[in-house]
């Protein structure tokens, strides 16, 4: 059992805070959590990059049409079955976790955990899982894997799941960001929410300097985490210009954030805010 120690470490996820979540929830703590999830995303991409694209894992005809998985790829089958199993063990009791296939989930067999309920109930169900799924498989995966096949379909799918879960956690965390921003300035957000004015809400919640910093930091993380580590000082794994070779191209990670992660997080924020006064 977790002890009832007040959370002094603002980088821990909200669901691990034990004191009044309304007091500890701040824009700073929420941003700290987003910084921590960056590490998970970069490491997950590095792990997936060990395998080539392995397109058979995404071919919906590869498994044939056997009962129970007809028309599903190995990757989809893997994600669905894992979610059913993890739901049984309580993963989705945590409001920070959003499944990709909510319709299929089993009822938890574990006792409920008293997660802090900080989201506004009518807005908590905001969900962009389908967009994350499509973006990951159609756009992102081909950008950081080589177009070949080594037969490791299940290992690749398992690595995909880790990427997807980290991306989903990060992007759906926009609900928490929006809740904090609303609580900090209800007088600014309320008229735009009542007018259902998406553009104004988007402007209010956007901080371009923060976004620029996030982009630069994730690029740097991809460089730092994605280098070969050797005991001698010289790095043998370099390109012809003497630059270290990275496991995942750092500019792909920056691109992932600027083109998909941050825009989707902001869509989540806007959609959450639109329901915030229901
Ligand atoms: C998440 C926030 O809201 C917006 C989205 C950002 C992001 O997804 O990283 C960054 C800045 C804001 O434009 C935030 O303000 O921290």
Question: Residues 6 or more apart from 90 whose CB is under 8 A from it?
Answer: 108, 110, 112, 113
Residue 32 pLDDT class (50, 70, 90 cuts): very high
DSSP conformational letter for 130: H
Per-residue burial over 40-58, b = 16 or more CB atoms within 10 Å of its CB, e = otherwise: bbbbbbbbbbebebbbbbb
Distance CA 177, CA 123 (A): 13
**What integer best gives the mean pLDDT of the chain?**
90
Question: Residues 6 or more apart from 16 whose CB is under 8 A from it?
Answer: 2, 7
Distance 253 CA to ligand 1 centre (A): 16
**What residues line ligand 1, using a CB cutoff of 6 Å?**
31, 34, 177, 205-207, 210-211, 214, 262, 265-266
Mean pLDDT of 164-178: 98
User: Could you give the 3-state DSSP secondary structure of residue 15?
Assistant: helix
**Which of 182, 206, 257 for mutating ligand 1's site (highest number of atoms within 8 Å of CB)?**
206
Per-residue pLDDT at 50 exceeds 70 = yes
Tokens of 271: 């959609």
Instruction: State residue 174's pLDDT score.
Output: 98
* Packing angle of the helix pair 174-184, 262-274 (nearest 10 deg): 50
pTM reported for the whole predicted model: 0.91
The interface pTM score, or ipTM, of the predicted complex is 0.98
- What number does the ligand 1 atom closest to the CA of 27 have? 16
Answer yes or no: is 142 within a domain.
Answer: yes
Beta-bridge partners for 238: 244
Instruction: State residue 236's pLDDT score.
Output: 67
Distance CA 18, CA 257 (A): 31
Residue showing tokens 């309920």? 117
Mean pLDDT of 213-219: 98
* Phi, psi (degrees; rounded to nearest 5) at 50: -65, -20
Beta-bridge partners for 235: none
Answer yes or no: is 264 within a domain.
Answer: yes
Distance CA 32, CA 9 (A): 10
Instruction: State residue 230's pLDDT score.
Output: 86
Mean pLDDT of 29-53: 98
Instruction: State residue 23's pLDDT score.
Output: 66
Parent domain of 139? 14-228+239-274
Answer yes or no: is 114 within a domain.
Answer: yes
pLDDT tens column, 110-134: 999 999 999 999 999 999 999 999 9
Answer yes or no: is 7 within a domain.
Answer: no
Instruction: State residue 122's pLDDT score.
Output: 94
Instruction: State residue 235's pLDDT score.
Output: 62
Are 177 and 201 in contact by the 8 Å Cβ rule? The answer is no
Task: Tell me how many domains the chain contains.
Answer: 1
- What number does the ligand 1 atom closest to the CA of 208 have? 13
Answer yes or no: is 22 within a domain.
Answer: yes
Answer yes or no: is 72 within a domain.
Answer: yes
Instruction: State residue 7's pLDDT score.
Output: 38
Beta-bridge partners for 244: 238
Read off the CATH number of the domain in which 105 is found.
1.10.590.10
Distance in Å from the first CA to the final CA of the chain: 36
Instruction: State residue 227's pLDDT score.
Output: 93
Distance CA 275, CA 103 (A): 22
pLDDT tens column, 236-259: 678 878 778 899 999 999 999 999
Are 76 and 164 in contact by the 8 Å Cβ rule? The answer is no
Instruction: State residue 11's pLDDT score.
Output: 46
Instruction: State residue 4's pLDDT score.
Output: 33
Residue showing tokens 């990709």? 100
Answer yes or no: is 234 within a domain.
Answer: no
Answer yes or no: is 203 within a domain.
Answer: yes
pLDDT tens column, 1-20: 333 333 334 444 554 444 45
pLDDT tens column, 60-104: 999 886 656 668 999 999 999 999 999 999 999 999 999 999 998
Distance 187 CA to ligand 1 centre (A): 20
* Packing angle of the helix pair 27-48, 174-184 (nearest 10 deg): 170
Per-residue pLDDT at 232 exceeds 90 = no
């Amino acid at each position: 059992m977790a002890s009832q120690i007040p959370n002094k470490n603002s980088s821990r996820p909200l669901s691990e805070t034990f004191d009044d979540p309304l007091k500890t929830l701040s824009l700073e703590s929420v941003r700290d959590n987003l910084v921590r999830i960056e590490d998970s995303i970069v490491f997950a991409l590095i792990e997936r990059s060990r395998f080539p694209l392995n397109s058979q894992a995404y071919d919906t005809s590869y498994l044939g049409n056997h009962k129970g998985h007809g028309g599903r790829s190995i990757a989809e089958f893997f994600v669905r079955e894992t979610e059913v199993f993890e739901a049984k063990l309580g993963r989705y009791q945590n409001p920070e976790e959003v499944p990709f296939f909510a319709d299929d989930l089993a009822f938890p067999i574990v006792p409920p955990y008293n997660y802090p309920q900080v989201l506004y109930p009518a807005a908590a169900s905001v969900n962009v899982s389908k967009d994350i799924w499509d973006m990951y498989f159609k756009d992102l995966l081909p950008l950081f894997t080589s177009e070949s096949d080594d037969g490791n379909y299940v290992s690749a799918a398992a690595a995909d799941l880790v990427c997807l879960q980290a991306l989903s956690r990060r992007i759906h965390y926009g609900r928490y960001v929006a809740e904090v921003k609303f609580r900090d300035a209800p007088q600014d957000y309320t008229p735009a929410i009542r007018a259902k004015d998406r553009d104004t809400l988007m402007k209010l919640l956007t901080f371009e300097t923060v976004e620029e910093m996030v982009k630069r930091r994730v690029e740097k993380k991809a460089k730092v985490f994605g280098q070969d580590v050797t005991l001698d000082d010289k790095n043998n794994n370099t390109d012809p210009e003497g630059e270290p070779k990275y496991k995942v191209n750092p500019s792909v990670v920056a691109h992932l954030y600027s083109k998909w992660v941050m825009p989707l997080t902001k869509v989540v924020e806007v959609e959450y805010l639109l329901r915030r006064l229901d």
